Amino acid sequence: MTQYTELRALLDSRRPWHSLPQPFYNDPKMHQADLDLIWSKSWIFVAASAELPKGETLQTVQIGAASVLLARAKDGVVRAFHNSCRHRGSRLCASHKANSPRIVCPYHQWTYDLDGKLLWAREMGPDFKPQDHGLRPVHCREIQGMIYVCLADQPADTAELEAQAARYIGPHDPANLKVAYQSRIVEKANWKLVLENNRECYHCSGNHPALCVTFPDDPNLVGADDSTTSNMGLAHVNRCEAAGLPSKYKCAEDERWRFVRIPFVGSAVSYTLDGKAASRRRLGTVPFDDAGSCLYYHYPNTWNHFLSDQVLNFRVLPLGPEETEVTTTWLVHKDAVEGVDYDLKRLTEVWIDTNDEDRRIVEENQQGINSPGYVPGPYSPVQEGGVNQFVDWYCQALRDGMDAPAARLA
Ligand code: 3BY
Ligand code: FES
Ligand code: FE
């Protein structure tokens, strides 16, 4: 209860349009509050659908203390389970990825089907009922090529997200993508600094030489505001929508997700150093190469780019108060052949550099915030509307989490 009191006081002390007070970025108690009130209650993006082909594929993901096992059984359905054996609780799968037709506990070999049913347990006596000891499910949804889980008892409704994702992502045909490359980096910074940094391009011209070749450094395109406040954004939205490609800025009522399609610089069509396509196979029903990038974020843990020739998923997971994992997945058409239709270096180099530049920025941000000299500073009204929108969402999500009947802190 004292933790709530402290948290409420800190939230009340927040100056609007300013960065957060220091404890939000480095205090272990506040980090635990983030885990309990946000990460344990929100839909969390965990994997691209293409990472889990049918039949024999498992993946694990760590969300705070919760280890979650993902499996796509032969029926094609992706399910999520607590990665804890129903015997004496051993972790079932220790690796990030595995390929197995069954889930076998390493301790006493209780064996589960990929749909969670307990198939086999040795010498448990005549009264033992295997059907009472299936894996405990975690809410799981597969929406337009992206898999999400939610640890809450009653997850937020996804109907509107599903409807809008079908409109904006559907044309990129997410069912026919394959993973071309995946990178995993650890950033020594609080997860919110990673998200805040993503929500503005104030830092782009000074830090992202490769990205800026193609990505427009225009706050009206990447901030919280409707992209049509920029003439270039308006022209792009009108042209795409006239061709049947949903593109107009669309934000959730509770502000936890948004879609918008923005143009690239000049005649660029993809995130490459020359602006030309990275893959020769155009995706789905995207009507032209220069469709720009459909930007989709879902708080607290993902932002994405949907292009005419590739899809980029970014997954953010907190590892500790000052440590965050960022996994980037590059997807191309499933029939695109490496070395023929795309060159892996060309496809990945801009965002490998950009991610590393962002890692350095947010690590320096963390170091400066840790100093006793840090005081919250003002956001640019021109450039940092998106950061303010994220921080507003975060503060409101904490308040909602504290007010929810089941809320509790250790
Ligand atoms: O933080 C970044 O690097 C990204 C690039 C695109 C939007 N955002 C500003
Ligand atoms: Fe899993 Fe014993 S803990 S079989
Ligand atoms: Fe950046």
Give the other-Cβ count within 10 Å of 131's Cβ: 7
Say which ligand is closest to the CA of 110: 2
- Token pair recorded at residue 205: 């011209």
**Structural tokens at position 357:** 């530049």
Q: How far, CA to CA in Å, does 217 sit from each of 74, 206, 262, 265?
A: 46, 11, 11, 9
Site residues for ligand 2, CB cut-off 6 Å:
85, 87-88, 90, 105, 107-110
CA distance 80 to 170: 24
CA dist 289 → 80, 158, 259 (Å)? 36, 31, 19
For residue range 258-283, list pLDDT tens digits in order.
999 999 999 999 999 999 999 999 99
> 371-410 pLDDT, tens per residue?
999 999 999 999 999 999 999 999 999 999 999 865 444 3
DSSP string for residues in 113-132: ETTS-EEE-SS--TT--GGG
DSSP state of 241: H
Nearest CA to ligand 1 atom 8: 198
Among the listed residues 237, 68, 258, 240, the one whose alpha carbon sits nearest the alpha carbon of residue 151: 68
Residue 383 Cβ contacting ligand 1 at under 6 Å: no
Distance from the alpha carbon of residue 216 to the mean position of ligand 1, in angstroms: 10
At 309 the pLDDT is 98
- Is the CB of 194 within 6 Å of ligand 1? no
Ligand nearest to the CA of 316: 1
Strand order from edge to edge, sheet including 311-320:
177-187, 323-333, 311-320, 302-306, 293-298, 257-262, 250-251
Q: Which pTM was predicted?
A: 0.96
Q: Hey, whose CA ends up nearest to atom 1 of ligand 1?
A: 198
For residue 17, is it left (φ>0), alpha (ψ between -120 and 50) or beta? left
- SS3 of 268-289: the string is CCCCCCCCCCCECCCCCCCCCC
> What pairs with residue 266 in β-bridges?
none
Q: What is the pLDDT of residues 35-50, one digit of tens each?
A: 999 999 999 999 999 9
Cα distances from 72 to residues 76, 91, 103, 142, 249, in angstroms, run 6, 19, 12, 11, 33
Q: What is the mean pLDDT of the chain?
A: 95
* Ligand 3 centroid from CA 350, angstroms: 11
Which residue is closest in CA terms to ligand 1's atom 4? 198
Centroid of ligand 1 to alpha carbon of 222 (angstroms): 8
